[in-house]
Structure 1
Amino acid sequence: MIELIGSAFILVGAVFLFSAGLGLLRMPDAYTRIQAGTKASTLGNMLVLIGLAFYHPNWTFRLILVAYFVLVTNPVSSHALSRAAWLIRTPMTSSTVTDALAEEDERGAGEKEA
């Protein structure tokens, strides 16, 4: 029964990892690709690690360390990539409604002049 639960977690995690890869191919611009890749791959990695913990209970501590590393580095790297893309003026898709960084940049410029 434990192996079945572990296999289910790994299978669902693999589906999320596949959807992350598909999102990288299908999304219209760099910002949405970063979003799709980060969110889905983080969840997929967590589910695969949980499944591995069911298969190998003596690896649990190591798997928790790996999960912690993934949870810390994925959002930070995603933020750094999207910020760098914005700074080099990577174009957004035409359906983008709000550019929060541009609004923040305009507010900052207004405060510096005052």
Structure 2
Amino acid sequence: MGAAPVSTFGDIVTAVLFLAGAASCLLGALGLIRLPDLPARLQAATKPQTLGLLLILIGTTIRVESASAVTLALVVLFQLLTAPVISQIVARSAYRTGTLRRDELVIDELAERMSRDDAGDAAPGGSAGDSGRRSTF
């Protein structure tokens, strides 16, 4: 079966959503190239890209049958759930490895927690493999 018939109004809405989504993805890609540091690049990699994909998938949902729309809704849901988590993991890894310049951070909420974890490792009876240590992930 082909795509469901859509009115002229639906065609216009779909075209606007596609163009807005493509523009958002383009801005996100430019941000990845132009922004100076990792936190800014992570913002450019997640927020505009997710918004762009969301707009494109909404436009596609208007054009397809209802069974395919459910699949597209699941893609949107998984994108909204996974993009922030992956961004957080990348940022945390960069922080721990020293790739992220800590002196440029305005607020460093992780420094105190990491110093407590390091002090716990240095305490008598504590080791890096201690099962009582909580992970910061």
CA distance in 1, matches of 2:15, 2:108: 41
Q: Is the Cα contact below 8 Å between 1:27 and 1:33 reproduced in 2?
A: yes
**SS of equivalent to 2:23:** helix
Q: Say if 2:29 is the partner of 1:21.
A: yes
Runs of at least 5 residues in structure 2 that lack an aligned partner in the other structure: 1-8, 124-137
Higher helix share: 1
CA distance in 2, matches of 1:68, 1:39: 14
State the AA in 1 paired with 2:79: V
CA distance in 1, matches of 2:103, 2:10: 48
**Which residue of 99, 103, 108 corresponds with 2:112?**
103
Partner of 1:67: 76
Which structure has more relative contact order (CA 8 Å, sep 6+)? It is: 1
TM-score by length of 1: 0.85
CA distance in 1, matches of 2:102, 2:40: 9
Partner of 1:54: 62
- Seen in structure 2, the aligned counterparts of structure 1 residues 103 and 50 have a Cα distance that, compared at 3 Å, is same
Q: Is the Cα contact below 8 Å between 2:95 and 2:102 reproduced in 1?
A: no
- What stretches of structure 1 move > 6 A for 4+ residues in a row? none
User: How much is the aligned-residue C-alpha RMSD, in angstroms?
Assistant: 2.0
Partner of 2:89: 80
Of structures 1 and 2, the larger Rg is shown by: 2
Of residues 89-98 and 67-76 in structure 1, the stretch that sits farther from structure 2 once superposed is 89-98
Identity %: 34
Give the Å deviation of 1:15: 0.8
CA distance in 2, matches of 1:92, 1:27: 15
In the comparison of the two structures, how many residue pairs are matched?
112
Partner of 1:36: 44
Give the Å deviation of 1:97: 2.0
- Seen in structure 2, the aligned counterparts of structure 1 residues 94 and 11 have a Cα distance that, compared at 3 Å, is farther
CA distance in 2, matches of 1:43, 1:15: 10
